[in-house]
Amino acid sequence: MHRIGSGEWQKAKGRARKAVRQIAGELIRLYAARTSAPGFAFSADTPWQRELEDAFSYIETPDQLSTIEDVKRDMERPYPMDRIICGDVGYGKTEIAIRAAFKAVQDGKQVAVLVPTTLLVQQHTKTFAERYAGFPIKVAGLSRFNTAKESKEILQDLAAGSVDVVIGTHRILSTDVQFKDLGLVIVDEEQRFGVEQKESLKKMRTTVDVLAMSATPIPRTLEMAVTGIREMSTITTPPEERHPILTYVGPAEDAQIKAAIHRELLRDGQIFYIHNRVESIDRAASKLQELVPEARIRIAHGQMSEGQLEDVILAFWNRDFDVLVCTTIVESGLDIANANTLIVERAENFGLSQLHQLRGRVGRGRDRAYAYFLYPPDQPLSEVAIDRLKTIASNTDLGSGMRVALKDLEIRGAGNLLGGEQSGHIADVGFDLYMRMVGEAVNDYKTGIIETEEQSHECKVELPVNAHLSEEYVPGERLRLDLYRRLADVKNAAEVESIREELVDRFGELPFEAISLLRVAELRAFAKSLGIREVVAAGKYLRISPLVLPESKQLRLNRLFPGSLYKTASNTVMIAIPRAAAWTPTAQGSAVIGDTSLLEWAAKSLDELTKASTS
């Protein structure tokens, strides 16, 4: 909170605006470099490409088709692509990657697919290899599951150019990985990679096509898309015969966990049970075994050796056991169609996109899926945790990942758009204003006016008049805030008039203080149009600045308003307020604070003066 009358708010806003302009400048320079950098223009589709696409065993959704078209169009352009695809979990993003990678390989380029976990490397390598069967394309997986000998061979083949598509964890970003001719980088589950990894990607990015995919993009990525810096495609149509996942958020109870597991076992399904602490995961598993003796239970976590982890996941895939008690190692991309119940304990400790990703592990087939997000019944939850759990509980529709991500952007703020350090400016000035500033700054850069004067500036109007929207007149707090925001943004009298008509239409006849508020908005819009930054009643004077008055106009100022001053150094006009209109607690016969005569007089004076200064 900033104290009224102190300059703290203006300073915070100034700091944020300065930071935003720097960020926007950097970003636009980065992206200008990319669009002007000579990229590789891929050639049009080959007959093989059509053959691969026709072999897809599902029917593409309309969104999938249009996204594939967007990606291909970007690849065929002469500058590097940078597109993010937001499609919910299980909406067929991998198929788009398969087709884009195939297109790149057709032109003799290599493709790197970056995924967050070793399990996903395995799964994708298998999927890509199956789809490319019958075509002369070599796919390799690079992760800690490989032996030293295998890794060495893959690295040699990459440098020689005999491996076409490599799928790997951030191991791909290591310095010892050399490509012969890299043409496309695909980043799956983009929200899982840290800033450093993305920075090293960015070095590749100015010359290589980049396709990022995510169900819940992180705030920074989303903000770049929202502010129009990165290209974005969204896939919102669910595949056929998909059902929304029934989601339950509540305190943990043994009876409920037991019932949920029983129900899944009755239909021969499998269960994910998320316990995110490696040291106590064995205890959690044995407790479950006591609850449900007939269930076959196994454990998976990131501290197991590669062989063990691989065995467990493959056994789960092959339906050798029923309940997988695991950490969030299964969070992204695992595709096990027969697992349709998810139980997450201590759900209050997870982030929003994590919760959404975990929920995406179930409901990938035709059966109805269930997700239970449980928290300890005896511990209080923090406000942010409640907010997150409410969001996940209310966004259960198919394709709600984007809404979850937008809410995440609101809860967490966007961070610095460019690099490692996070900026606290969002917290200082609020999410909406920050987003507006970024939007304006990016727009200024795009229109090429940033190096000169700012296009839209703030104008401060401080007059002792009673101007506001009362609770009785506009009941909802959110509505009032929205109206205040819109009034602060008006550019001319016509916009004020349209808000006035809307108010009368929605809430009835305007009360006295609302009329004053509209007049203040009109005065501010008029002052803004003249480039004035402040209209402030200061004691006996009305201070208007900056306003340039030539000498002839200064004489006129004194003739119209005796006792007025003009400060040439700061282009500030100090208009003497007539005694009757002055409002000071001691002034005899002064008007009461609610009187709008001062407001009218201020508007009239400004009009007179500017007529004077323009005639």
Please tell me whether residue 161 adopts helix, strand or coil conformation: coil
Residue 328 exposure: Cα atoms within 13 Å on the Cβ side: 19
For the cut 50, the answer to whether the pLDDT of residue 615 exceeds it is: no
Token look-up 């990229």 returns: 39
Please tell me whether residue 345 adopts helix, strand or coil conformation: coil
Phi, psi at residue 332, to the nearest 5°? -110, 135
Please compute the mean of the pLDDT values over residues 412-419 and round it to a whole number.
Answer: 46
Please compute the mean of the pLDDT values over residues 77-85 and round it to a whole number.
Answer: 81
For the chain, percent of residues with pLDDT exceeding 70: 73
Question: What per-residue confidence (pLDDT) applies to 452?
Answer: 43
Cα pseudo-dihedral 5, 6, 8, 11, rounded to 10: 80
Question: What per-residue confidence (pLDDT) applies to 614?
Answer: 47
For 217-232, give one letter per residue: b (16+ CB within 10 A) or e: bbbbbbbbbbbebbbb
Task: Name the least confident of 91-100, 133-142, 396-405, 519-528.
Answer: 396-405
Question: What per-residue confidence (pLDDT) applies to 21?
Answer: 67
From its phi and psi, is residue 589 left (phi > 0), alpha (psi between -120 and 50) or beta? Answer: left
Q: Residue 537: count other Cβ atoms within 10 Å of its Cβ.
A: 22
Please tell me whether residue 294 adopts helix, strand or coil conformation: coil
For the cut 80, the answer to whether the pLDDT of residue 48 exceeds it is: yes
Question: What per-residue confidence (pLDDT) applies to 235?
Answer: 77
Question: What angle (nearest 5°) sits at the alpha carbon of residue 328, between those of residues 201 and 343?
Answer: 145
Please tell me whether residue 125 adopts helix, strand or coil conformation: helix
Q: What is the pLDDT of residues 227-272, one digit of tens each?
A: 455 677 777 777 666 677 788 888 888 888 899 889 888 888 888 8
CATH homologous superfamily of 460-614: Transcription-repair-coupling factor, D7 domain (3.90.1150.50)
Question: What per-residue confidence (pLDDT) applies to 349?
Answer: 85
Phi, psi at residue 175, to the nearest 5°? -65, -25
**Taking the domains of the chain in order of start, what are their residue ranges?**
1-33+424-454, 37-235, 246-397, 460-614
* Torsion sign, CA atoms 493, 495, 496, 502: positive
CATH homologous superfamily of 246-397: P-loop containing nucleotide triphosphate hydrolases (3.40.50.300)
Question: What per-residue confidence (pLDDT) applies to 20?
Answer: 67
Question: What angle (nearest 5°) sits at the alpha carbon of residue 598, between those of residues 595 and 601?
Answer: 135
Query: Across-strand partners of 326?
Result: 274, 300
For the cut 70, the answer to whether the pLDDT of residue 118 exceeds it is: yes
In this structure, are strands 572-576 and 82-87 parallel, antiparallel, or unpaired?
unpaired
For the cut 70, the answer to whether the pLDDT of residue 168 exceeds it is: yes
Question: What per-residue confidence (pLDDT) applies to 589?
Answer: 43
For the cut 70, the answer to whether the pLDDT of residue 485 exceeds it is: yes
Please compute the mean of the pLDDT values over residues 312-332 and round it to a whole number.
Answer: 82
Burial class of residue 373 (count of CB atoms within 10 Å of its CB; 0-12, 13-18, 19+): buried
From its phi and psi, is residue 320 left (phi > 0), alpha (psi between -120 and 50) or beta? Answer: alpha
Token duo for residue 266: 């009755």
Question: What per-residue confidence (pLDDT) applies to 592?
Answer: 39
Please state at what angle helix 493-507 crosses helix 512-529, rounded to 10 degrees.
160
Sheet holding 565-567, edge to edge: 460-462, 534-538, 541-545, 572-576, 565-567
d(CA 370, CA 342): 6
Phi, psi at residue 240, to the nearest 5°? -60, 155
Please compute the mean of the pLDDT values over residues 188-216 and round it to a whole number.
Answer: 69
Residue 165 confidence class, pLDDT cut points 50, 70, 90:
very high
Q: Which residue has the higher pLDDT, 611 or 213?
A: 213
Q: What is the pLDDT of residues 558-603, one digit of tens each?
A: 778 887 788 888 888 888 877 654 444 444 444 434 455 777 888 8
- 246-397 shares its CATH topology with 460-614: no
Average pLDDT of the residues of the chain:
76
Q: Residue 318: count other Cβ atoms within 10 Å of its Cβ.
A: 9
Report the topology of domain 37-235.
Rossmann fold (3.40.50)
Yes or no: say if 213 and 85 are a contact pair by the CB < 8 Å rule. Answer: yes
Which element (helix H / strand E) includes 124? helix 118-131
Q: What is the pTM of this model?
A: 0.56
Task: Name the least confident of 40-49, 239-248, 301-310, 440-449.
Answer: 440-449
For the cut 70, the answer to whether the pLDDT of residue 494 exceeds it is: yes
User: Which of the listed ranges 276-290, 461-475, 503-517 does the model predict with the highest average pLDDT?
Assistant: 276-290
Token duo for residue 81: 């692509």
Q: Residue 552: count other Cβ atoms within 10 Å of its Cβ.
A: 11
**Euclidean distance between the first and the last CA atom of the chain, given in angstroms as a whole number:** 44
Q: What is the pLDDT of residues 218-227, one digit of tens each?
A: 555 555 554 4
Question: What per-residue confidence (pLDDT) applies to 174?
Answer: 79
Q: Which residue has the higher pLDDT, 490 or 582?
A: 490
Please compute the mean of the pLDDT values over residues 53-59 and round it to a whole number.
Answer: 81
Yes or no: say if 144 and 306 are a contact pair by the CB < 8 Å rule. Answer: yes
Task: Name the least confident of 34-48, 320-334, 391-405, 414-428.
Answer: 414-428
For the cut 50, the answer to whether the pLDDT of residue 423 exceeds it is: no
d(CA 27, CA 438): 11
Please compute the mean of the pLDDT values over residues 157-184 and round it to a whole number.
Answer: 86
Q: What is the pLDDT of residues 345-390, one digit of tens each?
A: 888 888 777 777 787 778 777 778 888 888 888 888 887 788 778 8
Residue 166 confidence class, pLDDT cut points 50, 70, 90:
very high
Question: What angle (nearest 5°) sits at the alpha carbon of residue 230, between those of residues 229 and 232?
Answer: 135
Token look-up 């102190």 returns: 6
